[in-house]
Amino acid sequence: MIRNRRIVQYSLIIVVSSLLIFSCARKRTVKKTETIMGTNVTITVVADTSKEGDAAIGAAMDEIRRLDEMMSLYKENSEVTRVNMASGKHPIAVSPEMIEVVENAVAVAKLTDGVFDITMGPLIVLWRMRTAEGDIPTEKEIARILPRVNYRNIIVNKKKSTLFLRRPDMIIDLGGVAKGYAADRAAGILKQHGIMSALVAVAGDIRALGARPDGSPWRIGVQHPRKPKTTLTVLDLRDTFISTSGDYERFVIKAGKRYHHIIDPRTGKPSTGIISATIIGDRGAIVDPLTTALFVLGRERGMEIVNKLGYEAVVVDEDGGVSHTAGIDVSE
């Protein structure tokens, strides 16, 4: 009797484990990289077949391209360009996605004493132009432009789905918020395709969907800002969003000084103090701009806000000091 029960037990174990092995073996990991939003977009999915994986990635990439067409500062027919061209004149009807992104950007501006401000467009364009020529803007040029920057002059009409910039010389730039939003939207498309396990990386803005097929979390290494081949920390992610802003990818050095692409609206110049900031949180449309804001705000005030929101963060300051919230393990 006992012997029979044992045999049944063993057979059950064998059946269950072969089912598990079979289902794991059936899964395919498919990975693709494309250039969209002026950067590398890499999508990794775990699917039943390569064909399904390819189809899901294709649709997710299309979604990011669609949002880029809508939100690019550099595309003649984007909704952002139309809003900028009508500044000071009249409101422009826009897609609900634009309203959502702008509302989130304004929420982050309010939360961060205005250091994240999408009306920084004129300053960002000025810095981009000058640094492309190997130069930097003059104090006079900066002072002339600064009064044009103020997120309070963005009028969002959700009911009519319109955007209006109050001053005639305003320019909005969604470069600090569109990538996070796009990564989340792309993950939503993957879900619609039945994908339960994926990573969507739009440069340093990464959405983890579910966990890895074996149930363990996705693992993302955060690069050390001054040692390209060294990992500062490896973070476990499961159904969450991670964003990193650093001064080490887009910058110029002039007279021994580094000028990077994140501008402090209080000075009109690249921010100082922090050289890398990473935040883990729930939504790309908040975490992406908040990471840029943390970069500008500095450790103390920035971490205070991160803690209040219940997010996790790690920052490196210009002296190489590493600070992090309680939930992050940094082995130095």
Which residues of this chain interact with ligand ADP, rule CB under 6 A? 115-118, 120, 124, 173, 175-176, 179, 203-204, 245, 250, 261-263, 265, 288, 292, 296
Contact 262, 295 (CB under 8 A): yes
**Closest distance between ligand ADP and the C-beta of residue 269, in Å?**
11
**Closest distance between ligand ADP and the C-beta of residue 122, in Å?**
12
Q: Quick one: tokens of 258?
A: 């580094």
Give 46 or 294: the residue with its C-beta nearer to Mg ion. Answer: 294
**Closest distance between ligand ADP and the C-beta of residue 200, in Å?**
14
Q: Quick one: tokens of 317?
A: 């300051």
Rounded to an integer, what distance in angstroms lies between the CA atom of residue 323 and that of residue 44?
Answer: 30
| Type of residue numbered 318 | E
Q: Which residues bind Mg ion (CB under 5 A)?
A: 245, 288, 291-292
Give 106 or 263: the residue with its C-beta nearer to ligand ADP. Answer: 263
Q: Residue with the closest Cβ to ligand ADP?
A: 175
Name the binder of 263 from Mg ion, ligand ADP, none, CB < 5-8 A by kind: ligand ADP
Name the binder of 260 from Mg ion, ligand ADP, none, CB < 5-8 A by kind: none
Give 37 or 189: the residue with its C-beta nearer to ligand ADP. Answer: 37
Give 56 or 315: the residue with its C-beta nearer to ligand ADP. Answer: 315
Give 204 or 210: the residue with its C-beta nearer to Mg ion. Answer: 204
Q: Residue with the closest Cβ to Mg ion?
A: 288
**Closest distance between Mg ion and the C-beta of residue 106, in Å?**
16
**Closest distance between ligand ADP and the C-beta of residue 291, in Å?**
6
Contact 155, 119 (CB under 8 A): no
